[in-house]
Structure 1
């Protein structure tokens, strides 16, 4: 399509979270793109979060993998793919089909996922294909299947606008799904009677608009919801008519009554208030995410929530039901296409003989596994044990994201043959591969994705794939043909794959499954190109809508299931040696392992360094000062993080973000702390309940640097982030360099540059500014104590004359904006505070009118509120 000026543009989808926001992309004529929200997409209606707003900053080609590599050497596609096909074929011939595995990703498009699943399960004959969605949504899948008979999301995003009570459980929606959170805030503003409850051990940005925050003890969600089920029963709030469609009620209620909500550690009055709100508001939506799923009892937590909705009939009706929000753009599409090791495509069951035969017949496949394959944790354990000898990893970074990650790294490194398909060679996982295959990236590839409320949207290309990069479906199909499966993988376009997939879903529909998009099985290429966002199912008789309001389910007897579940403590127990419970999660402006978001300077400006949230009481006991470095140790590993002292976490609990890697902060890799404990039903790792010890890390020196050039760091601790002018880096070392100037010049990539220095060997304070032709190339500051300089001001100086840089301070006539608060418009804290004081701003909306801060995605509004409160307190003190 064309915009008002007649310039070519395309509608597509954002590649980040499972909200599935629509975007409009326009090439800028210089190899980049312009991005704006799609005003008519039903997920976001034009709104984008900070990450989506910065997408145009992430498409540059600086670190792109542009050609295949074998053992580090560039080669051609024919040689690389022939080697992959031969190695996999030989391994299967010698050791059987279960000696190979695929580990794939929610970053894949549905068509890519479909080809990978078909190749592994139908033609290689193994179910050893799993996805990184195992790490985020597998417990939800298991809970859905146990309750509904299928992995069905009952409701829709529109339920958020219709609800009278929204309960966020283990979901920091304000930061992790910001556009949905803005829909909640808009609904609350339009209908002040709408109540919001946040159930989370940690106080997050989502609590800003909550009417009640329940900071329960980690792992006690089942006790809370079992108590709710009991209260619903005792309060006469059950739906007797609906319960005639449900099996297992008596057993579920008996189990619920055996749990004590006091195990949550919550105030009894707050528990009663929550239960009264749930009983008093018929239209209830319970939104849950990783805080529920990433647990050794995650499946039971899901079913404890579903039990309450089933018992009251509050499901599948406007404004009612459970809503699982997914973490990746196509986590849902991967579940639908059978990307998990225990599923077949179209929600069919791998252990059901009729389902297996139906898929085998449809594919005309030579093989079909009869049992589930290895789930992610078990898969990499089998790699380490030598049982899996050929591994293909596609668009994911398990050498950072898996639990017990050092063991996973060793397993990948020791595997006989490892292939990695990705857009860059600069990931922790790619560095371990024997073969690297250059894949096309977002904005370069065509296909479909499914978001968290079952809406299928097109992702469209607007940029040519650089170098020799190819679409994932094409790479997979080419290898399949070379393995001897020519006819089954003779695809020429994603549209052709989509039609086949839609036709297979019709088979699933005839077998009584929910996922059916057979109405698209005859969609021509033009129709595929023009496909509008549409919620499934799509058949000749039905499109979209909600499930289960009619009391009909996808179980053998057509009844829903309530599960008898009991609270189980996290597997790892705190002890004097490891007294803290570690919670992990995301921050507002970064994504997964930062291979995309770290390219954006403004996304890196908000929280530029890995950190550990520590309660003030614990910090005082441990003798930890604000901004000190701390060593965090678990029974399996340790890391170094910056201490952030805050009452957002309760005593005995700590929190750290997951994003930093060996590329950005090697000592801050969080999954070295997390053991490979999994939910016995879903196989999902327990990522939010590791036990750790915390102690101050006492380096010999601290450093801060900025540079126009790539950095080469070798200190005990370093964390780098991109800036508009190049890079910034925080450092700390255990060994003092013999020559500080030489050390700084080499690390900053400015050897041979002119140097301005101020050094005091007696105090250990050193300051250097490096210039070429009068232009600042880099600056570095070292001290035995944390370096006190204007970091955000300095980060903008490389490339300027800046003859004062060695002072580390801004001149009086050049105010320091301070750390970024609003990433969408790059507004710093000092700018905001100055406007509050100088213009008499009293509300967040007034700040937005003056500075734009908080007017786009709204994720920074809680921080703006906090700054207003701080300014009010300071004014009162004066």
Structure 2
């Protein structure tokens, strides 16, 4: 199927990736492709895009789309599918009560979708059982805001990052996870070299290259560090006593608790040298304009809410909040995590920042909706929700726009729970995901470029997502699907929307109801937008009242607790996300015939630069897969030596909950005793790499957010008998290897392979080359290097090539992938291909460093050898690093490495 463009030229829309909320210009072309550019007028990015955003046009193909409803895997009509969902939910509620059903939704839904899903569950079904994958990324921040401010309020704005004199980044790899914000800070530092940046993160990430000070603290020591900072600020005389007295309460108790963190105790807990701690404390004390940016490294912890409040305590104590260049700043990981918070998408919230625990607020929401019921208590948060599914208490579940079989902790247990659930409906855009494979009903949703609505970014800015493509097949907007189910359940009058503009207006009216300044979230100034006004809505930061908006909160107090004061919160003592050693039963599962060392370490999960969430979108782009194409584990060389691992071998990670196989990457970016592994790889792209299958489902007791960065796992060398690498024109139907990882590449696919069992190389080649016969295969053996090459051709075009060896195969992946596009495979080219060696006419570009311009490490090395001695010079020669800038730290690393070799 081809993409059908919507006529009308360039459309202004918003990026569907992280919570930065970048404006995008999308221009459909007559050939069905779409040109993507940053919107220079959007106040979040001013025209900048990261590598993922720049490649959005490459993710719009329809080959892997879900375009028709399915029941039991068979195509069905919309009426059949919607009737079945409505009937099964209605019957379950009638038999077992409203708490026997649940929705699990997503920060990738638009606000309008989110709003009516929450309205249906909490106001018409009458249960709180709607939670969101945003529970996994920012619910500890929400809980910390509510404890301190009385509402889930982000006080500041992105401009504060550029006005600050000190930016503190806590648990945030901004360079890879929020690249446009990183670029804004980098530009500010270039303009004002006195701007100081501190990175607080156990792992040395790409963001550290911009930092003046990197504090590689022990995991989960953040609350201790900021408690120690609070005591230091008091001793240094920089507490704003007037602000504290007028606008806060509980300071004395928080300070008493903080004073217990003496410098020696703090050094022991954080693992930092005393002089490092004092350097940070002094910077914070003397520079009034401080912004503290925090993200998943803070939130994804069993003590995440305490970490958030320890940070907020320091800003409240100094009055550094709500003024230009000052304040705590939570940055979110999804395009509409903030919008979901606005509409009550979390199980413990109501819409419009109404409090579910407040009877008056419940009455207000029910009266506004004219609903037959209202949830009287919080519903099940994500981890407990899936436990209830597994235990049989949730008997009907609707999952919208998310992939919990990959992203939830104890992911194998989530899969088992879905298999046992009597009824599972899934709304998605993809024809196959790990979660959709377990659905009784699959509902084809509209995707980015087809959807129409709003999202809210991390600085409270509402932006429009506008359609520029026709919906493929029978795909429908999420709001329409939800409204149709609601109508079939008997609630049609309350869900009779003409379009997203109607829903947005209702959302705005509810925000204004009974408000008059008593709640932070207020869109009363947007009430009454007609469809034309909604269509032309420019990016706007809430609150938006009839009198105008406001950029920042709390400079003059005005908090949302009764009495209007903020509250200091005492962190409740030391906790750690890391559990004990691997259980004896799990050890017993390890094959006793394996004579490999077993080492127990702490697993830190996270993201890579060019992929996002569970890869259902970014995995469609060959360009984005060029940077990092397979799942891996960063392991400190000391730990690798103890486990008997060598570079690029396969490592097996195990916990009591699951097992994965990953490529070993030895690096000192991680501390000894800790490893890092990305969370993106799913079943369609790797044989055994779903990282969250390992993670124990421990949660923060306040927020319910799981500690995705703190489980204990064993590492051991996987006893591979052989390794392989292949490039293929077509995706193989089967891959007979225990370890495999697929990635799209120009013209086809690349595949990494390994197995502990012996193999018949001819049979493997036939399987990968789609049944090629002996007469189609060419073979070459390198007896000195111990490698073996196979290839199949159709005329002079390569059908597929495979290289095998007893050790990881040393073939340039990018060079090999480029051979799929070649039409010139004569006898010499075939020999070079089988030998894995490029000719002088096509030099090996090396591993991709710059995804924007497809520049490889060896391209950069050649530029350096030619006299380029700076990142700027390399950019001028190769274009690398001149677009999104996310690769500049890697370019600098190559330059530094070349310089060290010259000195040596």
Taking structure 2 as the reference length, the TM-score comes to: 0.95
The 1:402/1:508 distance shift into structure 2, 3 A limit, reads farther
Specify the alignment match of 1:409 in structure 2: 415
Report the Cα distance in structure 2 between the residues aligned to 1:761 and 1:205, rounded to whole angstroms: 40
Specify the alignment match of 2:345 in structure 1: 339
How far residue 743 of structure 1 moved from its aligned partner, in angstroms, is: 2.1
- Whether 1:782 aligns to 2:804 is yes
Question: Unaligned 5+ residue runs, structure 2?
Answer: 1-6, 583-597
**Correspondence list, 1:379-418, <5 A:** 379-418=385-424
Specify the alignment match of 1:612 in structure 2: 633
Find the residue that maps to 1:641 and give its secondary structure: strand
User: Would the aligned equivalents of 1:750 and 1:777 in 2 still touch at CA under 8 Å?
Assistant: no
Specify the alignment match of 1:170 in structure 2: 171
Report the Cα distance in structure 1 between the residues aligned to 2:314 and 2:257, rounded to whole angstroms: 13
Specify the alignment match of 1:821 in structure 2: 849
Specify the alignment match of 1:710 in structure 2: 731
How far residue 574 of structure 1 moved from its aligned partner, in angstroms, is: 4.6
Specify the alignment match of 2:903 in structure 1: 876
User: Would the aligned equivalents of 1:347 and 1:508 in 2 still touch at CA under 8 Å?
Assistant: no
How far residue 638 of structure 1 moved from its aligned partner, in angstroms, is: 1.7
Report the Cα distance in structure 2 between the residues aligned to 1:814 and 1:724, rounded to whole angstroms: 16
User: Would the aligned equivalents of 1:69 and 1:435 in 2 still touch at CA under 8 Å?
Assistant: yes
- Whether 1:848 aligns to 2:875 is yes
Residues 429-463 of structure 1: CA deviation (Å, up to 9, x unaligned): 00000000000000001000000000000000000
How far residue 774 of structure 1 moved from its aligned partner, in angstroms, is: 2.9
Specify the alignment match of 2:426 in structure 1: 420
Specify the alignment match of 1:797 in structure 2: 819
Find the residue that maps to 1:588 and give its secondary structure: coil
Report the Cα distance in structure 2 between the residues aligned to 1:508 and 1:261, rounded to whole angstroms: 47
Find the residue that maps to 2:819 and give its secondary structure: coil
Specify the alignment match of 2:747 in structure 1: 725
Residues 641-693 of structure 1: CA deviation (Å, up to 9, x unaligned): 11111110111111111100111113111111100000000000001111112
Residues 13-48 of structure 1: CA deviation (Å, up to 9, x unaligned): 000000000001111122221110000100000000
How far residue 58 of structure 1 moved from its aligned partner, in angstroms, is: 0.3
The 1:83/1:205 distance shift into structure 2, 3 A limit, reads same
**Correspondence list, 1:202-281, <5 A:** 202-244=203-245, 245-259=247-261, 260-262=265-267, 263-281=269-287
Specify the alignment match of 2:690 in structure 1: 669
How far residue 210 of structure 1 moved from its aligned partner, in angstroms, is: 0.5
The 1:853/1:750 distance shift into structure 2, 3 A limit, reads farther
Question: Unaligned 5+ residue runs, structure 1?
Answer: 1-5
How far residue 797 of structure 1 moved from its aligned partner, in angstroms, is: 1.0
How far residue 813 of structure 1 moved from its aligned partner, in angstroms, is: 2.6
Specify the alignment match of 2:146 in structure 1: 145
Specify the alignment match of 2:862 in structure 1: 834
- Whether 1:686 aligns to 2:707 is yes
- Whether 1:316 aligns to 2:328 is no
Report the Cα distance in structure 1 between the residues aligned to 2:176 and 2:252, rounded to whole angstroms: 39
**Correspondence list, 1:450-461, <5 A:** 450-461=456-467
User: Would the aligned equivalents of 1:777 and 1:799 in 2 still touch at CA under 8 Å?
Assistant: no
Report the Cα distance in structure 1 between the residues aligned to 2:771 and 2:454, rounded to whole angstroms: 46
**Alignment counterpart, residue 672 of structure 2, candidates 646, 651, 657:** 651
Find the residue that maps to 1:483 and give its secondary structure: helix
Report the Cα distance in structure 2 between the residues aligned to 1:806 and 1:659, rounded to whole angstroms: 32
Report the Cα distance in structure 2 between the residues aligned to 1:553 and 1:781, rounded to whole angstroms: 64
Specify the alignment match of 1:3 in structure 2: none
How far residue 100 of structure 1 moved from its aligned partner, in angstroms, is: 0.5
User: Would the aligned equivalents of 2:115 and 2:343 in 1 still touch at CA under 8 Å?
Assistant: yes
**Correspondence list, 1:751-770, <5 A:** 751-752=772-773, 754-759=776-781, 765-770=787-792
Find the residue that maps to 1:477 and give its secondary structure: helix
How far residue 626 of structure 1 moved from its aligned partner, in angstroms, is: 1.1
Residues 805-827 of structure 1: CA deviation (Å, up to 9, x unaligned): 22221123321101100011110
How far residue 759 of structure 1 moved from its aligned partner, in angstroms, is: 5.0
Report the Cα distance in structure 2 between the residues aligned to 1:274 and 1:761, rounded to whole angstroms: 57
Report the Cα distance in structure 1 between the residues aligned to 2:550 and 2:540, rounded to whole angstroms: 7
How far residue 511 of structure 1 moved from its aligned partner, in angstroms, is: 7.4
Report the Cα distance in structure 2 between the residues aligned to 1:454 and 1:213, rounded to whole angstroms: 29
Find the residue that maps to 1:806 and give its secondary structure: helix
User: Would the aligned equivalents of 1:750 and 1:770 in 2 still touch at CA under 8 Å?
Assistant: no
Find the residue that maps to 2:53 and give its secondary structure: helix
User: Would the aligned equivalents of 1:574 and 1:580 in 2 still touch at CA under 8 Å?
Assistant: no
- Whether 1:298 aligns to 2:304 is yes
User: Would the aligned equivalents of 2:718 and 2:756 in 1 still touch at CA under 8 Å?
Assistant: no
Specify the alignment match of 2:764 in structure 1: 743
**Correspondence list, 1:278-293, <5 A:** 278-293=284-299
How many residue pairs end up in the alignment? Answer: 870
Report the Cα distance in structure 2 between the residues aligned to 1:825 and 1:583, rounded to whole angstroms: 30
User: Would the aligned equivalents of 2:599 and 2:642 in 1 still touch at CA under 8 Å?
Assistant: no
